[in-house]
Structure 1
Amino acid sequence: MTSQVPLAEGLFTWPAEDPALIGGLASDGSFVFPYRQYKLVGGVREELERVELPRRGTLWTFTTQRFRPPAPPYAGADDINSFEPFAVGYVELPGALRVEARLTESDPAKLRIGQEMELRIVPFGTDSAGNETVLYAFAPVSEEAPHGTE
């Protein structure tokens, strides 16, 4: 039996019933994603507080990726013949920042700027040990999908 593992460690809480992106919070109230330990704040190197970012936000902008990205670094389970276009967007997380992410909906006619979105963890590929890799994506809130994985 294979297990699900994050495509990269430290991007989101995993495993978790309600996963969240992991960011950093500076003393001036600014956020970073993905989390990193330090940031310059007012010209001074400061250690950031590790925080979970809001799970919901609004779609700020988006586009559709219509060709398979070059591999590496792309590590999807598809090949040039099985590749399916996907949407990528920026989601504004309230009180935090905008994050770039895949969107679970690839049809641009079903997406609109300002649309409410919610974090999902979705399958992506397979690692060298045979585990299914998962990554974060955002889904329109109107989509009927369970919290966590799809």
Structure 2
Amino acid sequence: MAPVPIADDLFTWPADEPRLIGGRCAECGTHVFPLRAGCARCGAAAVERALLSRSGTLWTWTSQGFPPKAPFRGEFAGTDPFEPWLVGVVELPGELRVETLLTGCAQDDLEFGMPMRLVTLPFRTGEDGREIITFAFRPEGAEHA
């Protein structure tokens, strides 16, 4: 069975070069993610679908030192023994900042402002046996997600 995204209209799928699906307000130009019907900045309903940049810079990060509870617990966080995982905020230039999983790196590798790239990765296996994927960002040039 082919993998499926964790949610519809969150990122392009299937895609060799995935993009986050956001929106852009036709009134004030503000970008939003995920795509929603109204603009949080000006209140306009004229938000149009927009594919966001695949590249950005690391704005901040932290490690998650405990396993998340369902439904947020993916198989990547279910290792035994548990290993902390990384969450960060990536700034997409001229668009917005996205909270995201970080992959392909260790905490000691991270630096403020470092280039990051959007990737997809397995999140968990659904009840029907299908692999469910999500998005994450990894350092630009990292070999594996």
Return the TM-score normalized by structure 1: 0.87
Shift of 1:47: 2.5
Could you tell me how far apart the structure 1 residues matched to 2:58 and 2:74 are? 24
Q: Deviations over 1:80-103 (max 9, x none)?
A: 735432100000001100000000
User: What is the identity, as a one-letter code, of the residue corresponding to 1:15?
Assistant: P
Q: Deviations over 1:23-69 (max 9, x none)?
A: 010021101100112225545x3221101000000000000112101
Could you tell me how far apart the structure 1 residues matched to 2:40 and 2:64 are? 34
Q: Which runs of 5+ in 2 are unaligned?
A: none
Residues 85, 106 of structure 1: 8 Å contact kept? no
Could you tell me how far apart the structure 1 residues matched to 2:40 and 2:102 are? 31
Shift of 1:3: 1.7
Matched, 1:88 2:87: yes
Distance 1:86 1:41, change over 3 A: closer
Matched, 1:55 2:54: yes
Partner of 1:36: 36
Q: Which runs of 5+ in 1 are unaligned?
A: none
Distance 1:42 1:133, change over 3 A: closer
Secondary structure at 2:99 match in 1: strand
Residues 6, 133 of structure 1: 8 Å contact kept? yes
Runs of 4+ displaced beyond 3 Å? 40-43, 78-83
> RMSD of the alignment, in Å?
1.8
